[in-house]
Structure 1
Amino acid sequence: MEISSIINSLNDAQRIAVSSPPQSLLVLAGAGSGKTRVLVHRIAWHIQVDGVSPHNILAVTFTNKAATEMRGRIEELLNISARSMWIGTFHGLAHRLLRRHAKQAKLPESFQVMDSDDQLRLIKRLIRNLNLDEAKWPPKQVQWFINAQKDEGIRARHMVETGDFFQRQMVAIYKAYEEICERSGLVDFAELLLRAHELLRDNEDVLEFYQRRFRFVHVDEFQDTNTIQYAWLRLLTEGRDNLFVVGDDDQSIYGWRGAKIENIYNFQQHYPNHKVVRLEQNYRSTGHILKAANSLIANNDGRMGKELWTDSGDGELISLYTAFNEQDEAYFVVEKIRQWVNDGGMRSDVAILYRSNAQSRQFEEKLMSTGTPYRVYGGLRFFERMEIKNALAYLRLISNRHDDASFERVVNTPARGIGAKTIEDIRLLARGQGISLWQAALDSIAHGQLSARATNALKGFMNLVAQLEQDAEEQELFEKVKWVVEKSGLIELYKKEKGDKGEARVENLEELVNAARMFDYEEDNEENLSELDMFLAHAALEAGEMQGDAYEDCVQLMTLHSAKGLEFKLVFLVGMEEGLFPSQQSLEDPGRLEEERRLCYVGITRAMEHLYLTHAESRRLYGKENYPRQSRFIREIPVEYIQEIRMRANVSRLVTSSVATVSSLQTGTFKLGQRVRHAKFGEGVVLQMEGEGAQERVQINFHDVGLKWLMLSYAKLEVL
């Protein structure tokens, strides 16, 4: 391939980034500026121009989807196979390292990866074992504490003893959690990263091998890296000018989960011979949208600075709508979506973005009432569904009997007469002897410590697992999965479940078999894993990225955090109010407020052609009626980029005595936003009216009972 074919399709700034001599580079890539293109072409440049083997390149992404896309683009650009290249997520690559060096990482070769749900279940059991009150020591808070320490590279033994009782107890739980994970051969997501860092840090020969192997290291979404991820990267590139990072300090929105925006700033100190390249030409949004985004983000201090621009024209002004309340806001948004579809637009090109998940309900109700298909992005994901996790637990036990989380999950699923007391007795023995639940169950049976009924039930379960392993040993992976979901009793269990839910669970288990059939197994994988273990690792690492119904033409609903990296022709940024967006917690913290502003910047730059900002004069949220001020983020956008939409003059309707009985207003104007009283339902606000004559009806949001449709000819409403 000629050099020209690598850089011809790039703009000037992209060419500079791609063709720079081998050195550490920080590419500040604005929203929609083609960062993935630059990463892929930089890798192609190393291979074609610098003569580097694909074997010597490392590329790190944050999602499996991004890694797959990067591999596909490299293969298309260079006409080579990228299967053997080290391109993947931090977690995926860390897992690969640990599988190859399990002994040096002080892990059993058969260690299992726990997803977030399995980790939480283990913590709940641990809290019970320690005789702690879950109300005082909430498992989710404990989970957050443990993961936060690991993200900072801190083990329980590293934590300094303080006089704070809460801190001491948390450290004690953390220590007990580490012990049970070590005993069971279990590794959570945060542990993957921490253990991989310790592997490189504590084994000089391993570190030197990978430093020699990876001549060039590439990182996507660098602004989202946390402490341990950056420390891992620094070890691999220590003493070398070979780190190429792409990021955007203006899109750093994950501080709440450990991401450190400081990593972008520290990069310049840690790699003094670095070069900075700014990608500012945007290929996504119109001029007015970009100018609004630039004006907004300019209010943040300490930015590295860049100005997005486009040569595709200014486009439409940004639309601003002030709603009476959250129902009126939802009504307005859905009506605009219906107009969009009637004009030939695709629903899948539309996104409703909100700050809090609690805001979605109003939009969901309105979309349902109008028969508009929609999808809540980031809903329950495939590998996180209960029936899938149960099936995977059986498969994990086949691979590793000492996986406590899997044992506890399915020992009585389907129900086989193993009660809570039996399980608790096994837990106590396991804890006392420092052994796995499986071994404790074997010992309990051998020493006659359980009732005859419990012993028989437990024997039945353990024999089932052993038989499943034996029967499936020579089968192909998909046959093995199919055999296990059938013979474990899960299919039969969910077929008995009434309604659509049971049918959906069975369909999901069938889809798991299909996923196993489609699984791409590399026999010569460097980790020497069996196909089953590779599939189980894939399931744990992919959890959270498989979405249902993604192919359907439907409106997309999601939080602003979920929207990062996506783009839509028509975007509604809703709930733009002080205390909601920016959030109440950020109003007293300048650092958090700046992250909220970056989140708004991300939301604005999702829009390609049309952007609507909405806010409400009153909003009932979390059970309270609020009268919020318009968000400062709206006020920070210059008025020349905004057009206000005023609907109130067009939403009133004359109501005469022939079609309604309204005690205080027989022939006046009945308007949206009007306050009324009903004898049974109390006070409320008029939201909608439809129909004519005797069929005319009105929708009212009553303070006490919520939304009601009432026939005007019978309602006997009093206007307040």
Structure 2
Amino acid sequence: MRPEDILAALDPEQQQAARALEGPVVVLAGAGTGKTRAMTHRIAYGVATGAFAPTELLALTFTTKAAGEMRSRLRALGVGTVPARTFHSAALRQLRYFWPRAVGGGAPEPVAHKAALTAEAARRVGIGVDKATIRDLSAEIEWAKVNLIPPEEYARLAAGRPEIPGVPAGEVTRLLNSYEEVKGERNVIDFEDILLILCGILEQHPDIAAEVRRQYRHFVVDEFQDVSPLQHRLLRNWLGERENLCVVGDASQTIYTFAGADPRYLLGFTTTYPNATEVRLIRDYRSTPQIVELANRILQLGPPEGRLELVSGRAGGPKPVFREFPDDIAEADALAEEIAARIAAGRPARDFAVLYRTNGQSQVIEEALSARGVPFVVQGGERFFSREEVRAALTTLRAAARTIPAGDSLSAQVKDLLSSHGWTSTPPERGGAVRSRWESLQAIVALAEQLETAAGELPASLASLVTELEDRAEHQNAPTVAGVTLASLHAAKGLEWPSVYLIGLSEGLLPITYAKTDETIAEERRLFYVGVTRAETSLQLSWALARAPGARARRSPSRFITQLRARAEQVQAPGPGRVRRKRRETRLRFTRCRICERPLHERTAQQLGRCEDCPPRYDETVFDALVAWRQQTSLQEQIPAFMVLTNTTLTAVAELLPGSKEELGLVPGIGPAKLERYGDGVLSVLRQNATAPRGAAGR
């Protein structure tokens, strides 16, 4: 591919990043600004112009999925020989290669999990712990090692960190020493040791360090805000005195400080390298202006350091929707109902994601989706390439790649081959295992279609598809499976969907209860920002006032929601619209039931002006007429009836009987958009069925 063709696919800021091939470079890239595109095109441009030799550049990422995505894009640009690896995979390859020379014999094998080693170490020092505590202790061991904290310094340097229940800092110090003894006796290493030992070898063996530096002359590091002190130390050893380093990151997306991520390396890059080239990518091609505006407002709640305020590169879309529910079940049911309706109207299930702060929040939405027959995928569930149908399909594709000549259409060949495994052009009507099997095969078909679309000078073929699948299998970078995605906010990092539902946005969940310091609250705010910026077109943010139906409403909206609302009030210019909102907040928050005079504690009851168990006082003719109008309107607009106005809102209208648009705008559930769209219709129904004095909404 010609250099000018590589640059032609980029915007001006991305081109600036791609042309910066020498010396230290820092690319500050906001959410959705095409940083991976800019970096892979920079690498391809450097190879095309002769600035880089493909095997002398090492691209580093933090997840196997990100590394796989980068390799796929580099192959599409014709530079597939450029290595793109995680820090740990790159370090492990070097450790195994140099161990015989530096230490002698074969390198110990890394253990996949620390739990067994931690449990044995705890037993030896007399710490009685359960599985949850073992998990917490393993995380604490990892935190100490990635922050280069020796056991004897742990108690001092860990001051201020939340204590593990029942395990004071002094016992953690003893545990750290015991843990290292257990590893030594079993002749195993953990993942942090891979980096630590390689650092030691490079620092103590100048000849080995020189060999590595001859091999890799240029480095690109993605997500640089997540670099830990240990990873930074290894990177410095790889670089030596050279400055051929390009880093990419966004301090506003730092959400892993609990695991050792330190954004100061990104924020202080131009101080470390005064001659560095700095490029800012702020054009968000993912999200609409309405979502970008909300994301920017979230950033404005925090300190200005490292803030990248974005500009949307897309056309306008709907405003983000804020919704409050009486309990978690009501929240899940409403979301599942809406998602099911949108899928029934023709939207693919893969377009939707439901994101939450903790994994425990997924169960209720799983049940609600299952009850409606909506397929879903839990991020972090069963590994795609471990599924029986996927392994069988890959075997078939490998054999076909060796025997079947290239055809005109890769996707047509793949569909024909996978039909013997149960793939059909239309999904099966029944759910369960049959539907799950079909969705796995459909994900492979979709990947083949994607390769066809993205094919450059080299046409897509069965061989290229097999290579892509094998690389993804090695690094567990699964193709997208059809279904609504359910994921924690941490697991959603790096992903995107047309429609996103952020649920459980109540105080104690976001920010999480144990976030008490300014630093941890700031991280929770960044986590909120990451969730919002996953949405492309449609975004809904919701919270529930109670855990279960009938439970007392003890929750309140997240402070972030409250702060966003307060900030919106501050920046809005004075005018009738502002006056109406203030009247709405005060006039519809009744303190006593209008029927039985009991105090009202729950927010929904305060807005309606009556207890939920008190019978509604409205003329049934009026309510039925409103329901009929809503049904007709939903049919005309081809949307579910509840998306016009909910039953709760219709009940409030029938009870309060607003006599004007101004009064109708005070009714719960009728914001400016719905007032503009449906106000005249609602008021017309009320006039045609007048049985009570108008203006009750203002009383």
Considering the TM-score relative to the shorter chain, is it more than 0.5? yes
| Cα 1:542–1:635 shift into 2, 3 Å | farther
C-alpha displacement of 1:145? 2.7
Identical aligned residues as a percent: 31
| Cα 1:46–1:309 shift into 2, 3 Å | same
1:590-609 matches, within 5 Å, as 590-609=518-537
What is the aligned partner in structure 1 of residue 658 from structure 2?
Answer: none
C-alpha displacement of 1:576? 1.7
Residues 255-264 or 133-142, more deviating: 133-142
| Cα 1:241–1:278 shift into 2, 3 Å | same
What is the aligned partner in structure 1 of residue 538 from structure 2?
Answer: 610
Q: Letter of the 1:290 partner, please give it.
A: V
Equivalent of residue 589 in structure 1, options 510, 517, 530: 517
Equivalent of residue 176 in structure 2, options 174, 177, 192: 174
Q: 1:67-96 deviations in whole A, cap 9, x for unaligned?
A: 22222222221x3541xx432001100111
Q: 1:230-264 deviations in whole A, cap 9, x for unaligned?
A: 11112222322211001001111111111111121
Kindly indicate whether residue 21 of structure 2 is the aligned counterpart of residue 93 of structure 1.
no
| Cα 1:337–1:295 shift into 2, 3 Å | same
Q: Is the 8 A contact 2:301 2:563 kept in 1?
A: no
Equivalent of residue 299 in structure 2, options 279, 297, 300: 297
Equivalent of residue 123 in structure 1, options 118, 127, 132: 118
Q: Distance in 2 between matches of 1:627 and 1:40?
A: 46
The gaps in structure 1 that reach 5 residues or longer are 386-502, 512-537, 650-669, 678-720
TM-score, normalised to structure 2, is: 0.64
Kindly indicate whether residue 487 of structure 2 is the aligned counterpart of residue 558 of structure 1.
yes
Kindly indicate whether residue 555 of structure 2 is the aligned counterpart of residue 627 of structure 1.
yes
Which structure exhibits the higher relative contact order, with contacts defined as CA atoms closer than 8 Å and separated by 6 or more residues?
1
RMSD of the alignment, in Å?
3.8
Q: Is the 8 A contact 1:350 1:569 kept in 2?
A: yes
What is the aligned partner in structure 1 of residue 612 from structure 2?
Answer: 674
Q: Distance in 2 between matches of 1:68 and 1:289?
A: 28
Q: Distance in 2 between matches of 1:352 and 1:136?
A: 28
1:510-521 matches, within 5 Å, as none
Equivalent of residue 251 in structure 1, options 250, 253, 258: 253
Q: Distance in 2 between matches of 1:286 and 1:14?
A: 20
Kindly indicate whether residue 348 of structure 2 is the aligned counterpart of residue 346 of structure 1.
yes
What is the aligned partner in structure 2 of residue 148 from structure 1?
Answer: 143
Q: Is the 8 A contact 1:620 1:626 kept in 2?
A: no
1:648-659 matches, within 5 Å, as none
Structure having the larger proportion of residues in strand: 1
Q: 1:6-63 deviations in whole A, cap 9, x for unaligned?
A: 2111100011111024011110111111111111112122222144211211110112
Q: Distance in 2 between matches of 1:89 and 1:576?
A: 33
Q: Distance in 2 between matches of 1:626 and 1:159?
A: 39
What is the aligned partner in structure 2 of residue 574 from structure 1?
Answer: 503
Q: 1:185-223 deviations in whole A, cap 9, x for unaligned?
A: 312112112222222222222222222332211001111
Q: Distance in 2 between matches of 1:131 and 1:384?
A: 39
Q: 1:507-543 deviations in whole A, cap 9, x for unaligned?
A: 9xxx9xxxxxxxxxxxxxxxxxxxxxxxxxx99x968
Structure having the larger proportion of residues in helix: 2
Tell me the SS of whatever aligns to 2:284: coil
Tell me the SS of whatever aligns to 1:353: strand
C-alpha displacement of 1:368? 1.7
| Cα 1:179–1:23 shift into 2, 3 Å | same
Q: Distance in 1 between matches of 2:326 and 2:352?
A: 23
| Cα 1:610–1:366 shift into 2, 3 Å | same
| Cα 1:198–1:384 shift into 2, 3 Å | farther
What is the aligned partner in structure 1 of residue 459 from structure 2?
Answer: none
C-alpha displacement of 1:136? 12
Q: Is the 8 A contact 1:110 1:185 kept in 2?
A: no
C-alpha displacement of 1:298? 1.6
Q: Is the 8 A contact 1:576 1:631 kept in 2?
A: no
Tell me the SS of whatever aligns to 2:122: helix
Q: Is the 8 A contact 1:323 1:617 kept in 2?
A: yes
Aligned length, in residue pairs: 496
What is the aligned partner in structure 2 of residue 112 from structure 1?
Answer: 109
Q: Is the 8 A contact 2:289 2:311 kept in 1?
A: yes
Q: Is the 8 A contact 1:98 1:105 kept in 2?
A: no
Q: Distance in 1 between matches of 2:289 and 2:156?
A: 56
What is the aligned partner in structure 2 of residue 221 from structure 1?
Answer: 223
| Cα 1:673–1:99 shift into 2, 3 Å | farther
Kindly indicate whether residue 93 of structure 2 is the aligned counterpart of residue 71 of structure 1.
no
Q: Letter of the 1:134 partner, please give it.
A: V
Q: Letter of the 2:525 partner, please give it.
A: R
| Cα 1:35–1:633 shift into 2, 3 Å | same
| Cα 1:60–1:201 shift into 2, 3 Å | same
What is the aligned partner in structure 1 of residue 378 from structure 2?
Answer: 376
Equivalent of residue 243 in structure 2, options 238, 241, 245: 241
Q: Is the 8 A contact 2:44 2:79 kept in 1?
A: no
Q: Distance in 2 between matches of 1:28 and 1:286?
A: 20
Q: Is the 8 A contact 1:383 1:542 kept in 2?
A: no
Q: Is the 8 A contact 2:510 2:558 kept in 1?
A: no
Tell me the SS of whatever aligns to 1:585: coil
What is the aligned partner in structure 1 of residue 657 from structure 2?
Answer: none
Q: Letter of the 1:23 partner, please give it.
A: G
C-alpha displacement of 1:626? 2.3
Q: Distance in 2 between matches of 1:272 and 1:283?
A: 31
Equivalent of residue 327 in structure 1, options 325, 329, 343: 329
Tell me the SS of whatever aligns to 1:39: helix
C-alpha displacement of 1:156? 4.2
Q: Is the 8 A contact 2:117 2:183 kept in 1?
A: no
What is the aligned partner in structure 2 of residue 206 from structure 1?
Answer: 208
Q: Distance in 1 between matches of 2:284 and 2:152?
A: 48
| Cα 1:354–1:197 shift into 2, 3 Å | same
C-alpha displacement of 1:675? 4.6
| Cα 1:314–1:204 shift into 2, 3 Å | same
